C-alpha cells in the first residue's frame, strides 16, 4: 500500500476584539488589550500545522528532528515498495511459465504411458508363449515315453517337430520385440525424467524466491504500520518542513 502525503486540513486563525467607543455621559469602558498584548498573554503561536497522514492523534507535535526522520523513513518506504512491486513482476511471469511447462510435461507423459501399455501387452504374450512351450515339452516327453512306432507315431512326431519350429520362430520374434521395447522404454522414460527434474528444480527455485518476497513484503508492511503510528498520525509545523527542505 502506498503512503500518500495529505494536504493541510485548515489554518489556525487568531481573532482580536477592537476597543469599544466611549459612550456619552458614561464612564469610559476599560480599554481592551492591544492585539500584541493579547498574543503575548496567550503565548507563542504554533503557526500552520500539517500532517503526513491522517493527523488525527492528540499527541504532541513532531519536533523538527522527528519530522526529518519521518520524512526520510517515508521516502525509504516508498523506494522499497517500488522495488518490491518490480520484484513481483518476474515472479508472476515465471509462475505462468511454470504452469505452461507443467501442462507440456503432462502431455509428454503420453509416450511413457504408450510404452508402458506396450510392455504390459508384451508381458501377456510372453506368459502365453511360456505356457505353450511348457505344454509342448510335456507332449514331447509323453511321446518319447510311449516309444510308439508306425505311421500314426510318425505323423505325431512330424507335428511336434513342426510345432517346435513355430515355437522357435515365435521366440525369436518375441525376443526382438522385447529388446526393441526395452530400448524405447529406456529412452522415453529418460527424456521424461530429465524434463520432470528440470521442472521440479524450477518450481523449487520459484518457491524459495516467492517465500523471500513474501517475507520482505510482510516486513515492509510492519514498518509502514509503525510509521503510520509514529509519524502519519501526528501533526507538525509547516515552518519545520520548509526548513528541512532548505537543508536546515
pLDDT, tens digit, 9 for 90 and up, residues 157-198: 999 999 999 999 999 999 999 999 999 999 999 999 999 999
177 domain-assigned: yes
228 domain-assigned: yes
Instruction: Give the model's pLDDT for residue 52.
Output: 81
Instruction: Give the model's pLDDT for residue 54.
Output: 65
Residue 7, pLDDT > 60, answer: no
169 domain-assigned: yes
10 domain-assigned: no
86 domain-assigned: yes
Residue 232, pLDDT > 80, answer: yes
pLDDT, tens digit, 9 for 90 and up, residues 28-82: 333 433 333 333 333 344 578 888 876 565 668 899 999 999 999 999 999 999 9
Instruction: Give the model's pLDDT for residue 106.
Output: 92
Give the angle 191-192-198 at the CA atoms, nearest 5°: 95
HSE value, Cβ hemisphere, 13 Å, CA-based, for 108: 17
Count structural domains, the chain.
Answer: 1
16 domain-assigned: no
pTM over 0.75? The answer is: no
**Distance, CA of 245 to CA of 247 (rounded, Å):** 5
pLDDT-derived band at 5 (thresholds 50, 70, 90) equals very low
Task: Give the distance, in angstroms, between the CA of residue 216 and the centroid of all CA atoms in the same chain.
Answer: 13
Instruction: Give the model's pLDDT for residue 230.
Output: 86
pLDDT-derived band at 148 (thresholds 50, 70, 90) equals confident
Instruction: Give the model's pLDDT for residue 58.
Output: 61
Closest CA to 114 of 181, 191, 198, 194: 181
159 domain-assigned: yes
156 domain-assigned: yes
Task: Among 10-14, 231-235, 240-244, name the one with the lowest average pLDDT.
Answer: 10-14
pLDDT, tens digit, 9 for 90 and up, residues 111-139: 999 999 999 999 999 999 999 999 999 99
**Higher per-residue pLDDT: 237 or 5:** 237
- Segment 97-120 shows an average pLDDT of 93
- Containing domain of residue 95, as a range? 50-245
C-alpha cell of 130?
A: 511360456
Instruction: Give the model's pLDDT for residue 37.
Output: 35
- Write the CATH number for 209: 1.10.287
Instruction: Give the model's pLDDT for residue 46.
Output: 54
Q: Which residues share a beta bridge with 50?
A: 236
pLDDT-derived band at 12 (thresholds 50, 70, 90) equals very low
**Distance, CA of 246 to CA of 248 (rounded, Å):** 6
- Segment 94-121 shows an average pLDDT of 93
User: Three-class SS of residue 74?
Assistant: helix
Amino acid at each position: 500500500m502506498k503512503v500518500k502525503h495529505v494536504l493541510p486540513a485548515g489554518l489556525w486563525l487568531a481573532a482580536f476584539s477592537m476597543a469599544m467607543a466611549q459612550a456619552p455621559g458614561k464612564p469610559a469602558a476599560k480599554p481592551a488589550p492591544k492585539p500584541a498584548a493579547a498574543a503575548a498573554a496567550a503565548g507563542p503561536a504554533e503557526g500552520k500545522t500539517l500532517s503526513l497522514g491522517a493527523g488525527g492523534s492528540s499527541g504532541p507535535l513532531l519536533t523538527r528532528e522527528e519530522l526529518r526522520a519521518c520524512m526520510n523513513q517515508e521516502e525509504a518506504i516508498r523506494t522499497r515498495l517500488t522495488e518490491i512491486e518490480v520484484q513481483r513482476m518476474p515472479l508472476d511471469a515465471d509462475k505462468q511459465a511454470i504452469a505452461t511447462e507443467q501442462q507440456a510435461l503432462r502431455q509428454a507423459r503420453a509416450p511413457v504411458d504408450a510404452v508402458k501399455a506396450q510392455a504390459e501387452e508384451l508381458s501377456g504374450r510372453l506368459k502365453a508363449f511360456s505356457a505353450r512351450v511348457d505344454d509342448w515339452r510335456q507332449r514331447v516327453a509323453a511321446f518319447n515315453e510311449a516309444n510308439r512306432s508306425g505311421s500314426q507315431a510318425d505323423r505325431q512326431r512330424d507335428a511336434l517337430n513342426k510345432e517346435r519350429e513355430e515355437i522357435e520362430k515365435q521366440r525369436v520374434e518375441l525376443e526382438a520385440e522385447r529388446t526393441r521395447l526395452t530400448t524405447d522404454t529406456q529412452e522415453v522414460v529418460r527424456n521424461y525424467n530429465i524434463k520432470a527434474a528440470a521442472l521440479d528444480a524450477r518450481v523449487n527455485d520459484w518457491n524459495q524466491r516467492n517465500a523471500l518476497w513474501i517475507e520482505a513484503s510482510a516486513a515492509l508492511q510492519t514498518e509502514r504500520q509503525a510509521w503510520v503510528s509514529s509519524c502519519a498520525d501526528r501533526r507538525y509545523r509547516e515552518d519545520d518542513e520548509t526548513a528541512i527542505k532548505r537543508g536546515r
